[in-house]
Chain A
């Protein structure tokens, strides 16, 4: 019975429980916050979701393809900048800025992917790190993009007639729907032949050519998809905060996304959303006591890497799965 962790054909899957728990929990939270009239926590939760989207893209590469991206903030920041520029200089439409950001991050993902995918293993990690570092430096020094100040005074985006991103609860729900859509799309994608190719690459890349497939093409496509997810999440950021700054592309953001994924559970996809929520909340709580919240996050991360390398969901999911299968089995036995 060594494959107990795998969902059996009949028993409900544990990861679906965690998915519903997360999104229903978020809805309940929105309802509660709306009743109390809270703004601060709604904004914080929206930010957690946005960074959760970035973490989702990291998990696609790290957990499903086996590539560790240390510069995913590049696409997140790109999406944020493009969206801010569209909103400020062109038209304050949510749909327009999201579409333009998506196209831009897909193109950037294609270029970045062609450069980075050539490299394997640790070389990939370091190249993606360098790529983001270089682009963030260039943005930091470009006066037309506001240099170190970034772009401030981005107007709220008009989503539907009568709803702009300035409305805390409305924008939280829109963000939640976006992230939910991304998550569902991604889990669906993992069930397609494309997703199976990716898990085959993760397991043993050298055997793929023997089966008649070109791993490079699938990895590149995965990289572009990840760039799109990160870019789309980034596009929501200026709508929430009203500004973008080069810090969004810095290593801190890429690193935090990786931390979110590891703490939440690598390869579980939903774990990255849990990780982001957990750590954004933790940062806010610790940040109200001391300015040195990085040390707490860093220590937590080190402990997780050493003691629970599978992360929160990666640890809980098999436990729940075992219970579910057990109940399923005994339930059938009783009939």
Chain B
């Protein structure tokens, strides 16, 4: 009996907490993807690269002598500018064609290829490290948790709540939701649609950048770091429902828990097949994902 409790306390609980700290980062990433899809109908294939750029942005800013905190605050702003320019300069150009879905997907895919190689040229292919700004561990109910992971959970949780408030409780969010529901109607009511699109894309990219910065001290930073991560984010978005904020949060936390708990029993190699199996089952049961689109939620 006591051994079972010990197992719960010393094996399962830390694993779940670790999963939660990755989970909030995955949710931030998935929120960016799902908001961009919900409003623009664009699958951003370069999202993983934007995540990597966020991490490299932190590396570069810290290299310039800034503290981690400044990097955490500045990187998302720079990422938003990058996102705005990308939407205005590239995505706008194919946005009004008939094959919008395919063309924008292909375009962001091409952008991702270019960005990845740019990272390789600028920073090299070798993994870099970012020192955690908070060291040490805190004792909670007889267990030690790394302080930085607790910090990631707190910041990530706050950001998720902030995104929710922004989208559902502010007039800015109402504009975005109205545009997602009926772009022509909101345009005729005076919403500057193309600027809203660009700003929303920038916002999604900034979210990817933040999760890159947050996870940089936990994982190492390398040019292809976004690839595996974006697969999880895509599964989260597909399971939660493309364009659904509630779905992204729920599915993100759930999937990362499944992943971290299952890795106690099976080799981590089988993590991706497990994730994918869940995704296929959910899609067979509900082809549109768990929840509906942004404008309708």
Which A residues fall within an 8 A CB radius of B?
Answer: 62, 68, 115, 118-123, 125-127, 129-131, 133-134, 137-138, 141, 251, 255, 258-259, 262, 292, 294-295, 297-299, 301-302, 305-306, 309
CB–CB A306/B269 < 8 A: no
Q: How far is the CB of B182 from chain A (nearest CB, A)?
A: 20
A259 to B90, CA, bound (A): 17
- Decide: A298 and B114 in contact? CB cutoff 8 A: yes
Total cross-chain contacts (CB, 8 A): 100
* CB-based contact A292/B276 at 8 Å: no
Q: Are A309 and B120 in contact (CB under 8 A)?
A: no
In the bound complex, do residue B94 and residue A305 qualify as a contact, i.e. CB atoms below 8 Å apart?
yes
Q: Is B127's beta carbon under 8 Å from chain A?
A: no
In contact, B113 and A294 (Cβ under 8 angstroms): yes
> Can you spell out 12 A-B residue pairs with CB atoms less than 8 angstroms apart?
A68-B102, A118-B283, A119-B287, A122-B105, A127-B280, A130-B231, A133-B276, A138-B270, A299-B114, A305-B103, A306-B90, A309-B103
**Docked-complex contact A123 and B238, CB < 8 angstroms:** yes
Q: Find the B residue at minimum CB distance from A136.
A: B272
Q: Please, how many angstroms separate the alpha-carbon atoms of A212 and B273 in the complex? A: 37
Residue on B nearest A307 in the bound complex, by CB: B93
- CB contacts under 8 Å to A, within B236-278, are 238, 242, 269-270, 272-273, 276
Q: A295-B114, A298-B110, A309-B99 are in contact. Are A130 and B276 (CB under 8 A)?
A: yes
Task: Give CA–CA (A118, B285) in the complex, Å.
Answer: 11
- Docked CA distance A309–B270 (Å): 39
Are B43 and A306 in touch, CB under 8 angstroms?
no
Q: Is the CB of B94 within 8 A of A306?
A: yes
Interface of chain B residues 82 through 124 with chain A (CB within 8 A): 90, 93-94, 97, 99, 101-103, 105-107, 109-114, 116-118, 120-121
A137/B43 in contact, CB under 8 A: no
Shortest B47–chain A CB gap in Å is 12
Q: How far is the CB of A11 from chain B (nearest CB, A)?
A: 27
Measured in the bound complex, the distance between the Cα atoms of B228 and A128 in whole Å is: 15
Q: A292-B117, A294-B113, A298-B114 are in contact. Are A119 and B283 (CB under 8 A)?
A: yes
Chain A contact residues, majority secondary structure: helix
Interface centre among B101, B109, B234 (most CB of A within 10 A): B109
Query: How many residues in B have their beta carbons less than 8 Å from beta carbons of A?
Result: 40
Q: Assuming the A-B contacts A115-B280, A119-B283, A251-B227, are A294 and B107 also in contact, with contact meaning beta carbons closer than 8 angstroms in the complex?
A: no
Query: Which residue of chain A has the shortest Cβ distance to B99 in the bound complex?
Result: A309
| Residues in B whose Cβ lies below 8 Å from that of A131 | 276
Which of B4-41 touch A at CB < 8 Å? 37
Within the complex, the shortest CB–CB distance from A162 to chain B, in Å, comes to 44
Q: Which residues of B contact A (CB under 8 A)?
A: 37, 43, 90, 93-94, 97, 99, 101-103, 105-107, 109-114, 116-118, 120-121, 227, 231, 234-235, 238, 242, 269-270, 272-273, 276, 279-280, 283-284, 287
The interface residues of chain A lying within 8 Å CB-to-CB of B97 are: 309
Partner of B106, one of A126, A258, A294: A258
- A120 / chain B contacts, CB cutoff of 8 Å: 287
Of chain B, the residue at the smallest CB distance from A115 is B280
Which of these, B90, B99, B270, B287, contacts A123 with CB under 8 Å? B287
A306 CA to B95 CA in the complex, in Å? 10
CA distance A306 to B113 in the complex (A): 16
Q: Which of B120, B227, B284 contacts A292 (CB 8 A)?
A: B120
Complex Cα gap A251–B231 (Å): 11
A144–chain B nearest beta-carbon distance, Å: 13
Decide: A298 and B238 in contact? CB cutoff 8 A.
no
Q: Which A residues touch B276, using CB under 8 A?
A: 130-131, 133-134
* CA distance in complex: A299, B107 (Å): 10
Q: Is the CB of A134 within 8 A of B272?
A: yes
Closest beta carbon of chain A to B244's beta carbon, Å: 14
* Structural contact, B231 and A133, CB atoms closer than 8 A: yes
| 14 extra A-B contacts, CB within 8 A, seeds A119-B283, A258-B106, A302-B114 | A115-B280, A118-B284, A120-B287, A130-B231, A134-B272, A138-B270, A255-B109, A294-B114, A295-B114, A298-B110, A298-B111, A301-B113, A302-B111, A309-B99
Please give me the residue from chain A that is nearest to B269 by CB atom: A141
In contact, A130 and B234 (Cβ under 8 angstroms): yes
Residues of A with C-beta under 8 A to B110: 259, 298-299, 301-302, 305
Kindly list chain B residues whose C-beta atoms are within 8 Å of the C-beta of A309. Answer: 94, 97, 99, 103
- Contact yes or no, B101 A121, CB < 8 A: yes
* A305 / chain B contacts, CB cutoff of 8 Å: 94, 103, 106-107, 110
Bound together, the chains give a CA A44 to CA B166 distance in angstroms of: 54
Q: How far is the CA of A62 from the CA of B99 in the complex (A)?
A: 11
Complex-state Cα separation, A242 to B111, whole angstroms: 33
Contact of A298 (CB < 8 Å), options: B101, B117, B284? B117
| B42 nearest CB neighbor, chain A only | A122
Residues of chain A contacted by B118 (CB below 8 angstroms): 295
| In-complex Cβ contact of A137 among B90, B113, B242, B272 (8 A) | B272
CA A301 – CA B110 in complex, angstroms? 6
A138-B105 in contact given A126-B238, A292-B117, A295-B118 (Cβ < 8 Å): no
Contacts of A125 in B (CB 8 A): 43, 105
